Structure 1
Amino acid sequence: MLTIGIVLLVEHTSGSYGTAGAVSATAGVAMALLAPQSGKLADRFGQGAVLVPGIFLHALFIGLLTALALLDAPLWSLFAAAVPAGATTPQISPMVRARWAARLEGSPLMTTAAAFESVTDEFTFVVGPVIATALCTGVHPAAGLIAEAVLMTLGGLVFAAQRRTQPVPARHRSHATPHAGQDVDGGADRARKKRASALSAPGVRVLIALLFGIGAVFGGMQVSLAAFAQSSGQPGINGVLYGVFAGGNMLAALAVGAIHWKRSPRARLLAAYPALVLATMALAGVAQLGPWTPLLGGLGLLAGLCIAPSMITSFTLVEMLVPATTRTEAFTWLTGAVALGQAAGTTASGQLTDSFGASSGFLAPLVGTGLALTVLVAFRRRLVTPSEGRVTARGVGHRTPVAVD
């Protein structure tokens, strides 16, 4: 609701979709780059301690941005207000995933929990823009943005009140008194590692690239499907086409969560991500051939089906690559990568559409996922989890027992 609410409000006050999109993208980029710091603080001091003040700051800056837009303030002030509005967006989704990881550590049910989160995320991706658009067009241009702030405040406070499921903050773990005979120097070394950023794990950086590519698919599909529907003279089918795409993602997420996987998350990711690239390649290729709406819708469904396995497996894998004390930060980096990729995909697809026609916008998801696949292939060994790298010890060199007087 945040991005579409900014677009509709600023377009109403400025008369320019370009300006509105730039202000909205500024908020998205600020969230992607700065929100992981709130995740790091949540790991160290506790989710509630970070979430509650962040909620009120977010509502304050959303109110400031809304007021500036309605008062026809200078353009620079809108960009200035968009930065803290995006940066203070409460990272509830990563916090929920961190709670699942803490409760289900080492359990195969973690994949099911990740799938459940992906289904609910995709549901909000579909429903949120519809609600925001209806409020902005039917009530007031600022109603969508105000509703986002109200819902975030109320829902965030209710979530923050659930203290029983919060992971133990890192500072509480590090202050624990060592037992007799415990290696104090080793404990201090482990504490330093726990305080390190989640980015210090090489595998996390690889997953960030993969989620950036998935975000490019989301952003590119939003713009490309809208432009395709407009150019084909059927603007009303835009919602249907995107609904089919999102529905495929939700169905695949349900299937991934229902299956009891025997292959490792790394092996599943190495199989799933190339399938996503092939789906975006087919989509981009068919789009260049002509306005075949049913075929394009079918390929959009296929692309949606291929997103969930890669996205869910990435969230499952990152939980295995980082210590428990940096999980919220790690999940925040991944969700931020999706948001950043979505902003990049939206911008690139819009530029391609303006310059070369509606069908060319579908190249943005292909390029984004193709580059991410290159990173995956080149650095796949960094995704080996400790359980995969562990070698079982075997007894060697045993002598034959002999009788002893």
Structure 2
Amino acid sequence: MTQTHASAPSRGPASASLLRTAGLPYFLIAFVARLPFAMMVVGVLTVVVSARGSLSLGGLTSAAVGIGTACFGPLLGAAADRFGQRAVLVILAIANSAMLIVFTLVVYSAAVDPLVLLAAFGIGATAPQVAPMSRSRLVAIINERMPEPQRARTLSGTMAYESAADETVFVFGPFLVGIAGSWIAPWAPLIGAAALTVAFVGAFALHPSGRHVSAERGSDGRAPSATSELFRPQLLVVVIGILGVGLFFGATLTSLTAFMADRGAPEEAGLLYGVMGVGSAILALGVAWLPPRFSLRSRWLVFAAILLLGSLLLGFVESPAGMAAVLAVMGIGIGPTLVTQYSFGAARSPLGRSATVMTMLGSAVIVGQSIGSAVTGEIAQTFGTAPALMLPACAAAIVLVAGILNWFASRTRPRTR
């Protein structure tokens, strides 16, 4: 986490003071550095299906990436909290680039399938997760250097910007995978992701904001809060909710691909998916301007309900135009829900463990996406597109149920900063 100086801005990262504190290059570097992470799951799936000719193995390989992230992501966040982000991210930039190259070589070799899965696990285990680290740095600036009356508004704007950046990258990432895979070769996206990781994750690590440990940490680097506070119900319900969002992403993209494949144009699935992503990013940015009386716990319920409603309409869609309209409705729900969940995560982070919490949430998204893609792909291949189109609604229902649980959990004031 950072310990840089900042004056109090009136809004999110677009405000002059926060922008001046971190610097415009920081936001540009942090944005591009997210791309490799967004390209991983889709790039792995694409290259495995191309080289091995197995959609089932491709789904399992994508899931292996998610499992690796789930196992090691929070541990890497804890290491960043303890020792600072710079050292951790430099090591990860090198290790993850190497694993992307190793995985590509293994896929195209005569290696057995378990070795392919192991290499995919290594990709997930070494994933730098720039987005959670960026949130942690900006939260540190807000909590340590800004007047308390302005923190809530600034935090809301920051989470809105970060979520919009994530949405944009997770739409643009698969698009880049498709372009590079079609124009060059199926392995090109992974090699490109390796190059981007070295260049931009390395630059993100070496940025001045990455060299400081949170002021909440003691001189020995220890946090004042116990590890057990990471497992409080108020925080775990947020993790479950954001896992549901990841499941929704994976199920939606995969079922949409099956829907367009039935119409002979599977390559257009990414374009339709972009309708939801762009709308979601715009609505995510708009969350910062919602009135304070529209509380965070109410926002979660309202926008999750919109998400579920849109997902239920998928079963009645018969044309690409109809699908685009339904995806636009779903986009209204997903962006603000994600912003709200990250805001809860930031507010409920135990003292000195912000990076740990943010990587827990980031890991939950990628794990959910991987599982959603694998399960939906298997169902689409075995039972057809219609059952697969029901799975986004199941994921949205998880998000809504978590929001209901959060409503009651919010009645008890959590021990936070």
- Taking the aligned partners of 1:25 and 1:92, their CA distance within structure 2 comes to 20
Matches within 5 A, 1:297-336: 297-336=324-363
Where does residue 390 of structure 2 map in the other structure? 363
Where does residue 74 of structure 1 map in the other structure? 112
Where does residue 374 of structure 1 map in the other structure? 401
Unaligned runs of 5+ in 1: 177-190, 390-405
- Taking the aligned partners of 1:343 and 1:162, their CA distance within structure 2 comes to 31
Structure 1 residue 124, shift from structure 2 partner: 1.3
Preserved contact between residue 216 and residue 224 of structure 2 (Cα < 8 Å)? no
Preserved contact between residue 210 and residue 369 of structure 1 (Cα < 8 Å)? no
- Taking the aligned partners of 2:136 and 2:412, their CA distance within structure 1 comes to 18
- Taking the aligned partners of 2:207 and 2:293, their CA distance within structure 1 comes to 34
- Taking the aligned partners of 1:77 and 1:350, their CA distance within structure 2 comes to 22
Structure 1 residue 385, shift from structure 2 partner: 7.0
Structure 1 residue 40, shift from structure 2 partner: 0.9
- Taking the aligned partners of 1:240 and 1:298, their CA distance within structure 2 comes to 13
User: Equivalent of 1:155, from 200, 210, 214?
Assistant: 200
- Taking the aligned partners of 2:113 and 2:181, their CA distance within structure 1 comes to 21
User: Equivalent of 2:123, from 85, 104, 120?
Assistant: 85
- Taking the aligned partners of 1:207 and 1:25, their CA distance within structure 2 comes to 22
- Taking the aligned partners of 1:324 and 1:171, their CA distance within structure 2 comes to 6
Matches within 5 A, 1:133-172: 133-164=178-209, 168-169=213-214, 172=217
Instruction: Please list the CA deviations of residues 8-54 of structure 1 after superposition, one character each: whole Å capped at 9, or x if unmatched.
Output: 22223212222222112211221133211100111111111211111
Preserved contact between residue 247 and residue 371 of structure 2 (Cα < 8 Å)? yes
Matches within 5 A, 1:236-251: 237-251=268-282
Where does residue 296 of structure 1 map in the other structure? 323
Secondary structure, aligned partner of 2:209: coil
Where does residue 43 of structure 2 map in the other structure? 5
Where does residue 281 of structure 1 map in the other structure? 312
Residue type matched to 2:389 in 1? F
Residue type matched to 1:338 in 2? V
Matches within 5 A, 1:144-293: 144-164=189-209, 168-169=213-214, 172-175=217-220, 194-196=225-227, 199-235=230-266, 237-284=268-315, 286-287=316-317, 291-293=318-320
Preserved contact between residue 272 and residue 324 of structure 2 (Cα < 8 Å)? yes
Secondary structure, aligned partner of 1:104: helix
- Taking the aligned partners of 1:319 and 1:120, their CA distance within structure 2 comes to 17
Flag the 1:376–1:174 CA change in 2: closer, same or farther, 3 A: farther
Secondary structure, aligned partner of 1:262: coil
Residue type matched to 2:196 in 1? L
Where does residue 181 of structure 1 map in the other structure? none
Preserved contact between residue 35 and residue 89 of structure 1 (Cα < 8 Å)? yes
Preserved contact between residue 280 and residue 365 of structure 1 (Cα < 8 Å)? yes
**Percentage of matched positions with identical amino acids:** 28
Secondary structure, aligned partner of 2:300: helix
- Taking the aligned partners of 1:29 and 1:137, their CA distance within structure 2 comes to 28
Structure 1 residue 236, shift from structure 2 partner: 5.5
- Taking the aligned partners of 1:258 and 1:382, their CA distance within structure 2 comes to 25
Flag the 1:303–1:73 CA change in 2: closer, same or farther, 3 A: same
Q: Is 1:104 paired with 2:142?
A: yes
Preserved contact between residue 10 and residue 19 of structure 1 (Cα < 8 Å)? yes
Flag the 1:194–1:49 CA change in 2: closer, same or farther, 3 A: farther
- Taking the aligned partners of 2:120 and 2:269, their CA distance within structure 1 comes to 28
Aligned positions, number: 371
Residue type matched to 1:56 in 2? I
- Taking the aligned partners of 1:348 and 1:367, their CA distance within structure 2 comes to 12
Moved more, 254-263 or 87-96: 254-263
Structure 1 residue 359, shift from structure 2 partner: 2.4
- Taking the aligned partners of 1:283 and 1:51, their CA distance within structure 2 comes to 40
Flag the 1:208–1:46 CA change in 2: closer, same or farther, 3 A: same
Structure 1 residue 175, shift from structure 2 partner: 4.2
Preserved contact between residue 303 and residue 332 of structure 2 (Cα < 8 Å)? no
Preserved contact between residue 306 and residue 332 of structure 2 (Cα < 8 Å)? no
Q: Is 1:126 paired with 2:171?
A: yes
Matches within 5 A, 1:345-360: 345-360=372-387
Preserved contact between residue 80 and residue 88 of structure 2 (Cα < 8 Å)? yes
Preserved contact between residue 181 and residue 189 of structure 2 (Cα < 8 Å)? yes
- Taking the aligned partners of 2:122 and 2:180, their CA distance within structure 1 comes to 24
Where does residue 182 of structure 1 map in the other structure? none
Query: Normalization by structure 1: what TM-score?
Result: 0.84
- Taking the aligned partners of 1:248 and 1:241, their CA distance within structure 2 comes to 12
Structure 1 residue 84, shift from structure 2 partner: 1.5
Structure 1 residue 239, shift from structure 2 partner: 3.2
Instruction: Please list the CA deviations of residues 275-294 of structure 1 after superposition, one character each: whole Å capped at 9, or x if unmatched.
Output: 2222222333x24xxx1332
Where does residue 188 of structure 1 map in the other structure? none
Residue type matched to 1:205 in 2? L
- Taking the aligned partners of 2:342 and 2:49, their CA distance within structure 1 comes to 35
Moved more, 198-207 or 80-89: 198-207
Flag the 1:292–1:133 CA change in 2: closer, same or farther, 3 A: closer
Query: Normalization by structure 2: what TM-score?
Result: 0.82
Flag the 1:132–1:322 CA change in 2: closer, same or farther, 3 A: same
- Taking the aligned partners of 1:385 and 1:325, their CA distance within structure 2 comes to 21
Max radius of gyration: which structure? 1
Structure 1 residue 147, shift from structure 2 partner: 0.7
Structure 1 residue 273, shift from structure 2 partner: 2.0
